């Protein structure tokens, strides 16, 4: 079976406008937070080298605009994704309720070969705000939703304080890598339509 | 009724007949008769609907009606939409304009999904989304029939309703890998007609005598013809080489699970390189004299690696970005040096900005601008001094009429101030308690609040905590969202307002100037992204006209959706230049001197500057997007403006014809329901 693995892992960050997608990406890649980031228009990505088991991978992290109106652009950006990160703001109920829409929209537009097992990771961001007093989505509620969608790994983060960001992206990268394993990039000798039915564990061991 | 006239594309006899019938019934004799003139052999019309209309603009007078058909040939299904000939009530809509929108035999293998809109009020329409991510403009079914249309498709190809959105129908979206592979095997069969999208279905007399092949064996690209001729002079070609490559494709698709992707990739490449040549050779020389001169700087296909033929406009890769010394600033050499007539157009040197003394000469004693055109032209070449902007911008934006007097303007300002206060009061009077039960309002306000604190905060005018100007941004945007509730607030608007408030300082004045700007740019923010799509579409046509190799490169690399220019266009390059430079660019764009769509030529000019780098480094879509995003702050505005001017002049009326009517920021001609189709969005 395949031995040549991909070295580029593509990750898409989705979520309502203002939940902190750009901030999370920058915190992870550049280890800094600025409150002068602009609202994202169109899309952009940052890359970071990650190492697993003595091998180097390039994590390509795509940051897209959160406003619903721009979603028709998704087709061009979601294609070929290995993992999708869904972000909400623990202080904004609506951003949590919208996770389902984001997930579904992603599956429609990216149309991964195995939607059931496509890896998602959910981040509840801005846990630092007001010492947690203004939060409206409980961790329990969020975890319950993640469990109902096939055990999506869940992290509570603060892009501002750098809480849990590294861990979350470690998991994201791992999941992306596993997803990448399923797809081959070389041509088999014969038609091989069965091999994509390999099982991949959902969830994340980290 | 509609007058009809004969041409090789249309089926006016049928159309007249169907008008009498008033239905979409289709008889066998119809299609067989047609097949002798326009349908390819063995093709069968399986669905036909009249009065399917597109709305390029919000104005009823500019709608284009046509006939929608589904055509089956072998195992492949094609969609066509051909506008009626000579039916336009509006002289502004030339045949050329209509042809821009014509859908010529697009195979369903190139279609990703169809979104259906069946509002309870108003017409049903569909949006056809291509695999490339581009979408055709909404097709309105004036006589209904969307359901029948979808049902017909279902009979012939694999169409599934999206589980997530009942109004989205996904084409060939097989979850099962086996089916997926099988579907891909159909693709090669689609090639002959797909490639001949212009040829097979719009065949006419043989133009072989007019063949035009350059001495070096490279066909002169006839890209302009898609604007000009629209297939009239094309013919169905049976090219053995093409058949061979189809054969290879078929073989290839047998051995790989990912045939679908790969085959479509190959298909695209073959389509643009190999097959395109057939098409190209078929154009009459006369219709391309201009084109050869203007655009054929280099028609060779882009090789797989460097070197790329240089373009006089491009930025030398070894010179530092942002420095102009090394390049031939503002020169635009229009033709290949091998060609006979050398034609060179220069963008005029930039002038110093308009100052107070000169400004005074444009005004009569009562404050009227006596020569509007001269003023616009003057500003086009030099812009305006900063302290004059507050006054001059109100004219450029159309807030004040040029023939208004000082007194009239003073009066208008007062009236408008109270009008602004009235609208502002509408949301200010919403109590906290009321807001609790007013989700839309809370969400809209939340979105605006999140954006204004992320808008130009490094500028001293907006920096620091509790900056009153940031609050002004919020108030104006929230008021605007009540002024134009249907459009509401969309990200990007705060970027457009920021410079206006920075210049105008006054709240009400800023609001009304912003309103004027949004009259032009509002469609950028439409829910269906129509305004953006039409601009990106026009941009691709302009590049095709002005830089054929670059166009071909984008085509081969799946970059034709031009999404990498999205930010440029949405907020008028606001993020691409330093603040002061943006102000300069905007006032130049707002003059509408030479073209309302200078911003699209600015896009072309920037792309042309970096074309060697783009093609030489073989940038794919991702790399290109990143490259373009990172050009921010690196672009020399004056040089680009000169190039854009030169390009605009070169493109001339062919350029103008590449831009569909109503493409933003075209000014409104009459009023109507501007944002009617947006009722299904919250914000
Ligand atoms: N307190 C706090 N604020 C945050 C955090 N993350 C982001 N923010 C702030 O929230 C706002 C939005 O952050 P962005 O990262 O720009 O949000 P986004 O999701 O990229 O938004 P769009 O680009 O509009 O889709 C900014 O003002 C950030 O400073 C966080 O963890 N804690
Ligand atoms: Mg962002």
Residue B311 pLDDT: 55
Strand (E) or helix (H) holding B437: none
Q: How far is CA B337 from CA A130, B191, B220, B341, in A?
A: 68, 36, 15, 9
Residue A12 pLDDT: 96
Taking an 8 Å cut-off on Cβ atoms, the answer to whether B257 and A195 are in contact is yes
Residue B123 pLDDT: 77
Provide residues of A within 8 Å CB-CB of chain B.
17-18, 35-39, 41-45, 60, 65-70, 72-73, 75-77, 92, 94, 104-105, 107-108, 111, 113, 115, 184, 187-197
Instruction: Report the nearest atom of ligand 1 relative to the CA of A159.
Output: 31
B326 part of contact set with chain A, CB < 8 Å:
no
Cα of A170 to nearest chain B Cα, Å:
23
B682 part of contact set with chain A, CB < 8 Å:
yes
Best of A33, A39, A134 to disrupt the B interface (most B CBs within 10 Å) is A39
B133 part of contact set with chain A, CB < 8 Å:
yes
Residue B589 pLDDT: 97
Which 8-state DSSP code applies to residue B213? B
Taking an 8 Å cut-off on Cβ atoms, the answer to whether A193 and B563 are in contact is no
Q: For A142-162, what is each residue's pLDDT tens digit?
A: 999 999 999 999 999 999 999
Residue of A nearest to B166 (CA): A108
Residue B95 pLDDT: 65
CATH 3.40.50.970 fits B530-657, yes or no: no
Mean pLDDT confidence for A74-86: 89
Provide the Cα torsion B210, B215, B216, B222; round to 10°: -30
- What are the boundaries of each domain within chain A? 7-197
- How far is it, in rounded angstroms, from Cα B13 to Cα B30? 10
For ligand 1, say whether the CB of A6 is within 6 Å of any of its atoms: no
Cα of A9 to nearest chain B Cα, Å:
13
Minimum-distance CB partner of B490 among A60, A69, A73 = A69
- What are the boundaries of each domain within chain B? 9-189, 214-345, 405-518, 530-657
CB B478 within 8 A of CB B427: yes
Residue A24: pLDDT band with limits 50, 70, 90: very high
Residue B24 pLDDT: 35
Cα of A100 to nearest chain B Cα, Å:
10
Q: Is the pTM of this model over 0.90?
A: no
CATH of domain B405-518: 1.10.8.270
Taking an 8 Å cut-off on Cβ atoms, the answer to whether A108 and B165 are in contact is yes
Instruction: Report the nearest atom of ligand 1 relative to the CA of A125.
Output: 31
Cα of B165 to nearest chain A Cα, Å:
9
Q: How far is CA B157 from CA B71, B195, B566, in A?
A: 12, 20, 33
CATH of domain B9-189: 2.30.29.230
For ligand 1, say whether the CB of A41 is within 6 Å of any of its atoms: no
Q: For A157-195, what is each residue's pLDDT tens digit?
A: 999 999 999 999 999 999 988 876 544 443 333 333 334
Q: For A39-55, what is each residue's pLDDT tens digit?
A: 999 999 999 999 888 88
* Residue pointed to by tokens 């009326």: B653
CATH of domain A7-197: 3.40.50.300
Q: For A114-133, what is each residue's pLDDT tens digit?
A: 898 999 999 999 999 999 99
Residue B174 pLDDT: 53
Mean pLDDT confidence for A72-87: 88
B339 part of contact set with chain A, CB < 8 Å:
no
Q: For B60-97, what is each residue's pLDDT tens digit?
A: 677 788 899 999 888 889 999 988 876 555 555 666 66
Show the low-confidence residues of chain B (pLDDT under 50): 1-38, 175-307, 315-344, 668-683
Chain B contact set for A22 (CB, 8 A): none
Tell me the two tokens of residue B53: 């209309």
How high does pLDDT run on average in chain B? 72
**What ipTM describes this predicted complex?**
0.86
CB B604 within 8 A of CB B647: yes
Other Cβ atoms less than 10 A from the Cβ of B371: the count is 12
Residue B61 pLDDT: 72
């Amino acid at each position: 079976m395949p031995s040549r693995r991909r070295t580029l892992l593509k990750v898409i960050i989705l979520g309502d406008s203002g939940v902190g997608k750009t901030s999370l990406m920058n915190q992870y890649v550049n280890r800094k937070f600025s409150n002068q980031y602009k609202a994202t228009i169109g899309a952009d990505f940052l890359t970071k080298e990650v190492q697993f088991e003595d091998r180097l991978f390039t994590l390509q992290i795509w940051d897209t605009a959160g406003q619903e109106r721009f979603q028709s652009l998704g087709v061009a950006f979601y294609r070929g994704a290995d993992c999708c990160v869904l972000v909400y703001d623990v202080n904004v109920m609506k951003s949590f309720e919208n996770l389902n829409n984001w997930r579904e929209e992603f599956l429609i537009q990216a149309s991964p070969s195995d939607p059931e097992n496509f890896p998602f990771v959910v981040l509840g961001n801005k846990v630092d705000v007001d010492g947690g007093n203004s939060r409206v989505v409980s961790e329990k509620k969020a975890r319950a939703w993640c469990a109902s969608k096939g055990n999506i790994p869940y992290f509570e983060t603060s892009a501002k304080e750098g809480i849990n960001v590294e861990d979350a992206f470690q998991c994201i990268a791992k999941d992306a890598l596993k997803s990448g394993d399923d797809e081959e990039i070389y041509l088999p000798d014969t038609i091989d339509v069965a091999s994509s039915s390999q099982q991949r564990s959902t969830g994340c061991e980290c | 009724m509609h007058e009809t006239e004969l041409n090789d594309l249309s089926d006016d006899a049928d159309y007249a007949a169907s008008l009498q019938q008033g239905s979409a019934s289709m008889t066998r004799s119809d299609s067989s008769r047609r097949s002798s003139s326009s349908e390819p052999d063995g093709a069968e019309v399986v669905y036909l609907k009249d009065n399917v209309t597109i709305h390029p603009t919000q104005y009823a007078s500019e709608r284009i009606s046509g006939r929608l058909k589904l055509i089956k040939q072998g195992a492949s299904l094609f969609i066509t939409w051909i506008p009626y000939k000579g039916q336009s009530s509006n002289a502004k809509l030339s045949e050329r304009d209509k042809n821009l929108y014509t859908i010529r035999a697009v195979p369903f293998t190139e279609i990703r999904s169809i979104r259906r809109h069946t509002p309870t009020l108003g017409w049903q329409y569909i949006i056809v989304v291509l695999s490339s991510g581009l979408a055709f403009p909404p097709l309105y079914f004036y006589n209904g029939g969307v359901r029948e249309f979808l049902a017909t498709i279902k009979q012939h190809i694999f169409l599934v309703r999206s589980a997530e959105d009942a109004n989205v129908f996904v084409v060939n979206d097989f979850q099962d890998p086996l089916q997926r592979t099988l579907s891909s095997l159909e693709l090669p069969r689609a090639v002959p007609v797909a490639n001949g999208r212009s040829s097979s279905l719009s065949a006419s007399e043989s133009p072989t005598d007019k063949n035009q092949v350059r001495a070096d064996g490279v066909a002169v690209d006839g890209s302009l013809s898609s604007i000009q001729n629209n297939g009239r002079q094309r013919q169905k070609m049976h090219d053995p080489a093409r058949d061979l490559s189809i054969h290879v494709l078929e073989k290839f698709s047998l051995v790989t699970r990912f045939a679908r992707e790969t085959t479509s990739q190959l298909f695209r490449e073959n389509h643009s390189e190999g097959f395109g040549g057939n098409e190209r050779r078929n154009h009459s020389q006369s219709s391309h004299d201009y084109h050869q001169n203007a655009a054929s700087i280099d028609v060779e296909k882009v090789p797989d690696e460097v070197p790329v033929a240089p373009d006089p406009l491009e930025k030398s890769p070894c010179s530092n970005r942002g420095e102009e010394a090394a390049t031939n600033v503002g020169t635009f050499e229009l033709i290949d040096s091998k060609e006979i007539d050398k034609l060179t157009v220069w963008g005029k040197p930039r002038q110093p900005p308009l100052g107070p003394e000169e400004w005074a000469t444009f005004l009569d004693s009562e404050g009227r601008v006596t020569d509007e055109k001269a003023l616009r032209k003057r500003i086009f070449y030099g812009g305006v001094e900063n302290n004059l902007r507050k006054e001059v911008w109100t004219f450029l934006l159309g807030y004040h009429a040029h023939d208004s007097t000082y007194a009239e303007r003073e009066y208008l300002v007062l009236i408008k101030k109270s009008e602004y206060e009235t609208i502002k009061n509408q949301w200010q009077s919403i109590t906290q308690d009321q807001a609790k039960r007013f989700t839309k309002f809370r969400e809209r306000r939340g979105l605006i609040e999140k954006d204004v604190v992320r808008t130009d905060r490094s500028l001293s005018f907006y920096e620091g905590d509790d900056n009153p100007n940031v609050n002004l941004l919020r108030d104006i945007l929230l008021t605007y969202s009540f002024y134009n509730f249907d459009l509401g607030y969309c990200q990007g608007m705060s970027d457009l307002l920021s410079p206006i408030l920075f210049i105008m300082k006054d709240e009400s004045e800023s609001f009304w100037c912003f309103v004027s700007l949004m009259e032009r740019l509002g469609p950028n923010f439409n829910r269906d992204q129509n305004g953006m799509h039409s601009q990106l579409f026009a941009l691709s046509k302009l590049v095709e006209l002005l830089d054929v190799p670059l166009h071909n490169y984008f085509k081969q690399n799946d970059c034709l959706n031009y999404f990498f220019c999205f930010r440029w266009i949405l907020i008028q390059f606001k993020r691409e230049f330093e603040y002061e430079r943006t102000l300069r660019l905007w006032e130049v764009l707002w003059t509408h001197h030479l073209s309302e769509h200078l911003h699209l030529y600015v896009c072309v000019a920037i792309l042309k500057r970096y074309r060697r780098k783009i093609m030489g480094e073989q940038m794919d879509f991702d790399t290109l997007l990143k490259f373009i995003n990172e050009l921010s702050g690196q672009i020399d505005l004056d040089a680009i403006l000169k190039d854009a001017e030169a390009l605009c002049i070169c493109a001339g009326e062919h350029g103008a014809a590449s831009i569909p009517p109503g493409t933003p920021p075209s000014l409104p001609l009459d009023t109507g329901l501007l944002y009617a189709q947006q009722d299904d969005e919250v914000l």
